[in-house]
Homo-oligomer: A and B are copies of this chain.
Amino acid sequence: MTTAPSFQKTYARRRVLITGGLGFIGSNLARRLVALGARVTIVDSLIPEYGGNRRNLAGLAGRVRVHVADVRDWPRLPRLVQGQDFIFNLAGQTSHMDSMTDPQTDLDINGRAQLAILEACRVHNPTLRIVFASTRQVYGRPDYLPVDERHPLRPVDVNGINKIAGESFHLLYSRVHGLRATALRLTNTLGPGMRVKDARQTFVGVWIRCLVEGRPFEVWGGEQRRDFTYVDDAVEAFLLAAARPAAVGEVFNLGGPPPVTLHRLAELLVELNGGGSFAVRTFPADRQKIDIGDFYADDRRIGRKLGWRPRTDLRTMLARTLAYYRRELRHYV
């Protein structure tokens, strides 16, 4: 266990590119990096089905450079990666269902564009530090819990398959071409800036939207246990991963406070919202095939190696997220 690190020395006046930087985690990372004195450039496609939202940068006008561009647009990549000290690579397609109905788009963003970003780095900026946002979806249905990084990778959807490829490309370029890459496997991440319009980023988004709008929400199943990371803790992990030499070439799970059932999570949200209701439904058949059941991550490895631990308890993260969307919902729906 290390003490909370001072990132000032690492990031002040350094050039940082964030792909997917108008999205949920990317924008929170941008905000933190600006506060640390970094020179932040954001690239984001602002595709309506994805996580990018200009509201996420409220108050940062003029303090970050924003390129509205798609990482699939290869010719733009060399100029974007040149001269950067760090890349936080969060651009991605995150919806499991969309990956099944439009698998090629998922492959193009989560696989092909990642390779293009890495090739641009190899040719134009081979010594930078890059951190890739991977996902617990690479594991599929757990054989055992909590799931550590040695757990077999048996994804249950196209998204999981392509994220494995994206993650593997990063680690390979680290090993073979000398780029210094790290991959973080995220679980459900919650906080201000998350997508609440639909379930494309997380089902919790829709729940929160319904609560704030005073409508009942639906809990599918309910007995599945899941873990949740607060976005500030996720941001801390990205900053650590890029700062610490021990993270080079490594992959780490992120986790959170102890897991809860979805039923319990729903109750807690209703309580914190001071009202609301939900209906428990059986799992829809088309989702059943790609559902992973219980999942929670073993995040002790990143604790041991980088000193990260989740600092925000479930109640706090839900309360903060609800408070944000009670104020900001109109910008997100």
Contacts and interface: CB of A to CB of B under 8 A. Distances in A.
Interface residues of A, number: 28
A107 interface: yes
Of A157, A176, A290, most buried by chain B (CB within 10 Å of CB) is: A176
Interface string A157-178: 1100110110011001001100
A47 interface: no
Given A100-B176, A107-B111, A161 B169 contact: yes
**Interface SS of chain A:** helix
Given A165-B161, A169-B161, A289-B176, A104 B112 contact: yes
B107 A115 contact: yes
Contacts of A164: 164-165, 168
Interface in A90-149: 100, 103-104, 107-108, 111-112, 115-116, 119
Nearest to A168: B161
A157 B168 CA distance: 9
A103 B114 CA distance: 11
A117 to B, nearest CB: 12
A148 to B, nearest CB: 13
Contacts of A150: 152
A126 to B, nearest CB: 14
A52 interface: no
A153 interface: yes
A259 interface: no
A108 B150 CA distance: 29
Given A111-B111, A116-B104, A164-B165, A172 B152 contact: no
- Nearest first, the 7 closest Cβ-Cβ pairs linking A and B are A161-B168, A165-B165, A176-B289, A103-B115, A161-B165, A107-B112, A107-B115
Interface of A: 100, 103-104, 107-108, 111-112, 115-116, 119, 150, 152-153, 155-158, 161-162, 164-165, 168-169, 172, 175-176, 289-290
